[in-house]
Structure formats: structure tokens, C-alpha cells
Structure 1
Amino acid sequence: MLTHPQFNPVALDLTPLGLPIQIHWYGITYLVAFGLFLYLAGRRVRLPWFANAGWQRRDVEDLLFFGVLGVVLGGRLGYVFFYKPAYYLQHPLEIFHVWKGGMAFHGGLLGVMVAMALFAWLRKRPFLQLMDLIAPCVPTGLASGRIGNFINGELWGRQADPSLPWAMVFPQSGLDIARHPSQLYQFGLEGMALFVLLWLYARTERAQGQVAAAFLFGYGVFRFIAEYFREPDGFLGLLTFSLSMGQWLCVPMIVGGAALWVWCGQRAGAGVKA
């Protein structure tokens, strides 16, 4: 049985030099995520079906700006409304206390979709085409974020059999018990595995919207599986059918992704143009 290494969350501390600057590992993982997005999306705009539609590198840089706004605003509001609506109804000003933590992926996803819809409207671009462009570039950012969670020793897993070779004690949990390092499971599933599958699938031109649909479906399935190993939020616990909130939020992603994939294929087969 292992023990979490208890990394120092501060990667670089310049305060001893008289500079009020601390660079945290979690911030670095965000920068890595943004850099990977720029690189991967920059490659995708060179694919013939995107290049012929007029997509260029500068569009990618603008998309990143819109995406960051969507992630931050949507992730925060998602946490507020999905996980602690009663608390924030009583303490509305704390919604803005983002430095205390509290972000939700599913809220961030909705925020990004709204931001991308706004971008598509402003640039007169088909929304589904835009989502197909960026979808395969997202999982590496998710993987980077899960590494940040592991470094911080947060979002730990459920109790595991101590004989499991990679079972780990997370002192931050307050209990000296073996747990699943669920952050690393999520890194592997919704991060790297989803990236490889989507990247290979998206190398060939698909019916418009099907790559985005595959992301919704794939993320929903992988996250649903990973939630069986992740400790549910203490203030919520397990909900109906012993599923976590994260799993319930994945259900519409799985169903919606599958339905969107079928609808886009039928639409393309009928010769409907975007």
C-alpha cells in the first residue's frame, strides 16, 4: 500500500527573493492544457475539410479565449447549481469566492458550449462544425487537470483493498485507509484513452456533428465508470440507485451523445447541408 507523496502545491516560490509570486502546479497544468489545445487544434484546422471551410490558426487562438471564459464561468456556476444550490442561495456573495475552490466539469462543458455558440454566431460558422473541430483537443486538457488534482491530493478515491498494489492513503482525507487513486484513473480514461480514440476517429471526415457526439458519449461513459472509484462528495453522498451526482450528470451526456451521433448520420445521409 502506498501513501500519497504530499507534493508541495507551489512549484516555484519567488517570495524569498522579495517578489510576491508563487506559481502553483495546478496553474501549470492549466497552462499545459491551453498549450496542448493550441497545438492540437492548430493541426486540425489544416485538415482539408476544415481548411476548405476557411478555418485558420488565428481562429484557434480566439476559440481558446472564448473557451477559457466558458470553462471558468460555467464550471463555477455548475458547481453552485449542481452541487450546493441551497448553500449558495443563503450565501450568494460566496459564488464569487473562486479562490476557495469549487468547479464542476459538467458546468464547464455547458459554459464552453454557450461560449462556442456565441463564437459561431459572431463568426457565422456552423456550430456543429466548430464543435467537431475542438472536441478531440479537449481530453488532453482534462488529463492535465487530473494530474493537478493528484498533485494536490484532492478528489481522492473510494476505499480500496489494501492488497491492491497501487492502493494509496491520502492524508488530506483525514482517514488512514487505502483508497483508489481515482485521479489517475480519470487521467487514463477520460483523458488519454478518450483522446486516442477521438483523435483516430476524427482523422477521417465524418458527418457534421458526429465527432462532437462521440466526445459527449465517450466522456460520459468513461466518467461514469471512473465515478465508481471516486469518493462522492461528502455533502451529497450517493443518490438514487447508489449513483453519484457525477454519474447522474453523465447520463444525459451518454444518451444525448448517442442520439446526436445517429441524428447527424441520418441528416448527412439525407443530404442536408449545414
Structure 2
Amino acid sequence: MTFFEDFSTFVTIGPIHIQWYAVCILTGACIAYFLGQYRFKQLGYSKDILSDYFFAVLLIGIVGARIWYVIFTFDEMYASQPLEIFAIWHGGLAIQGGIFAGLIYSYYFFKKHDIPFLLAGDAIMPGVLIAQAFGRWGNFFNHEAYGGEVSLSFLQSLHLPQFIIDNMYMNGAYHHPTFLYESMGNIMAFLLIVFVIRRFQKHQGVQFFSYFLFYGLVRFPVEGLRTDSLMFGPIRMAQLISIAFIITGLIGIIYVHLKGKEVHYIDMS
């Protein structure tokens, strides 16, 4: 067993290499799971409900994220080596595809268990922001999802730890740590939803739709700095989806305020 064999590898056990990419994604997913359990308990549901839900939605979300990424990069990355499609440890998960796949499965699951979808969304979606924040660190260890060139003095002006600065030097230049911008933005969005919006929430779905609003607001500007965006013609696909998320979030929040069902949480803070 060898730890930290290289920058992207967490541990090597014989022929098995466990990448930091996988560790970051699974850590974030587990934190989101436990946050969801806590929220379901506050809502008066058994936290065990999420035990059946978690593994399925995690797998479906990863598959959806991979399919989304492959669709937009197939010609340049996978047409000549299709087996590489299955090598997700090399990176290449587009979170927005995972969100769409996860939402479809979530609607089916909670409808089957007779749990209001928006109520479940309030319990789960803020934690997804934490999962995404951790996932971006997986991109860091894979040396991906970075931005355009910047100067060393610019990075130093951000007061970043030296190991981040050192690993933003790629292809002969320093780059924007866009993984960090988005990770920190997602954490701030999580804190705003949980500690501000939730305390004034009166209707089901406010936190759920706030997720889309704030994630879109975070992702749109960060995506504009990246050098590896998935493109739809001349349009950065993630920015297009971010606009759709912002509009969905705003319309959804207005709708639930006008016509939504009331919700009452048990304050256990």
C-alpha cells in the first residue's frame, strides 16, 4: 500500500489506484447524504428513507454527468478511443448532466414513497452544493477545470496556499484557479440558503429553487473564465444552462411564495 504516489493518486493498493478525484466526489456525496438525513428528521420523516435513495441517485448522477460530458466532447476525445468513455477516473464529469439525471430519478423515488417532491428538494438540494464544492477539488487534483492565464503576482494577491499556486502552473503558465472560485461560491450559497433563507422560509420549495438560482449565479461567471468549457456551437453550454437555472430558480421562488404549501420545520439547531 502506497499513499500519495503522485499528485492525483490518494492510495495505491497493488494494481488498484484510488484517485483523489474519486475521494473528493465520494466525500462530498457522503456529507450531502448526512445533511439530507438530518433535514428529513427535522421534517418528521425517517432518515432511513435516504439510505435506499442515496446509492441509486449517486450512481445515476455519475452516469448522467458522464453522458453529458461525453456528448459534448465525443469527437475530440472519444471517437478514436471509445473505451475511454468508461474511464471516469481520468476525469470528465459534467455536473449539470448529473443534476438532470438525479432530478428525474428523485421525482420517481419520492413520488413512489408519497413524499412531496419540493419538500424533499428542500432537504436535499442545499447539500448538493457541498457535494459540488468537494467535487471541484477533485478537478484540482486532476489538473482540470482551470481558467485562462494569469500572472504569479495575481495568484499571490489572492493569498492562496502555496500548493494551490504551484499546481496552477501548467503548460508554461499560471492559470485562474476556477475550481476554487466555484467551490467557494457553492459553499457560500449553501450557507446563505441554510442559515438565512431557511429561517425565513414559509413555503415548500424555496430552498429547492434557491439552489438553482444561486448555483446558476455562481457557475455563469466562473465558466466564462474557463478554458475547457463544453461548447454548443459558439455558446458555452454551462453558461446556457446556468441562465436556465437562474430563470427557473426565480420563477420557482415566486410561484411557491404565491401558491406553495406551507412547511414547518422542527428547529434542532
TM normalised by structure 2 equals 0.81
Q: 1:219 aligns with which of 201, 215, 237?
A: 215
1:203 deviates by 4.2
Please tell me whether the aligned partners of residues 66 and 116 of structure 1 are also in contact (alpha carbons under 8 angstroms): no
Specify whether residues 139 and 223 from structure 1 end up closer, same or farther in structure 2 by C-alpha distance, changes over 3 A only.
same
Q: 1:178 to 1:237 in 2, by over 3 A?
A: farther
Partner in structure 2 of residue 264 of structure 1: 256
The residue type equivalent to 1:206 in the other structure is K
* Runs (5+) with no aligned partner, structure 2: 159-164, 263-269
Kindly provide the amino acid, as one letter, of the partner of residue 239 in structure 1. P
* CA shift for structure 1 position 88: 9.1
Question: Would you say the 8 A contact 1:70–1:114 is kept in 2?
Answer: no
Q: Which moved more, 1:163-172 or 1:115-124?
A: 163-172
State how far apart, in whole Å, the 2-side matches of 1:36 and 1:178 are. Answer: 32
Q: Which runs of structure 2 are paired with 1:42-57 in the superposition (5 Å)?
A: 42-47=37-42, 50-51=43-44, 55-57=45-47
Contact (CA 8 Å) 1:7, 1:152: kept in 2 or not? no
Task: Tell me the CA shift for residue 34 of structure 1.
Answer: 2.5
Give the 3 Å change call, closer, same or farther, for CA 237–133 of structure 1 in structure 2: closer
The within-5 A match list for 1:220-239 is: 220-233=216-229, 236=231, 239=234
Give the alignment partner of residue 115 of structure 1, picking from 94, 97, 105.
105
Q: Which residue of 2 aligns with 1:30?
A: 25
Q: Secondary structure at the match of 2:153?
A: coil
Q: Does residue 198 of structure 1 match 2:193?
A: yes
Match of 1:84 among 59, 69, 73: 73
**Structure 2 SS opposite 1:154:** coil
Where does the alignment leave 5 or more consecutive residues of structure 1 unmatched?
Answer: 1-5
| Residue 180 (structure 2) aligns with | 184
CA–CA distance in 2 between the matches of 1:89 and 1:164? 36
Query: For residues 129 and 152 of structure 2, what CA distance do their matches in structure 1 show?
Result: 31
Distance in 2, matches of 1:126 and 1:117, equals 9
Q: Is the 8 A contact 1:13 1:23 kept in 2?
A: yes
AA at the equivalent of 1:39: F
Aligned residue pairs total 249
Instruction: Give the whole-Å Cα distance in 1 for the aligned partners of 2:143 and 2:93.
Output: 16
Change (3 A) 1:11 1:129: same
Alpha-carbon contact 1:7-1:151 (below 8 Å) kept: no
* Matched AA of 1:213: F
Distance 2:154 2:190 in 1: 27
1:264/1:165 Cα in 2 relative to 1: closer, same or farther (>3 Å)? same
Aligned to 2:13: 14
RMSD across aligned C-alpha pairs, in angstroms? 2.9
Does residue 70 in structure 1 map to residue 60 in structure 2? Answer: yes
1:133-144 equivalent positions in 2, closer than 5 A: 133-144=123-134
The equivalent of 1:39 in structure 2 is: 34
Question: Percent identical across equivalent pairs?
Answer: 23
Distance 1:72 1:29 in 2: 13
Q: CA deviation at 1:268?
A: 2.9
Structure 2 distance, partners of 1:11, 1:34, is: 18
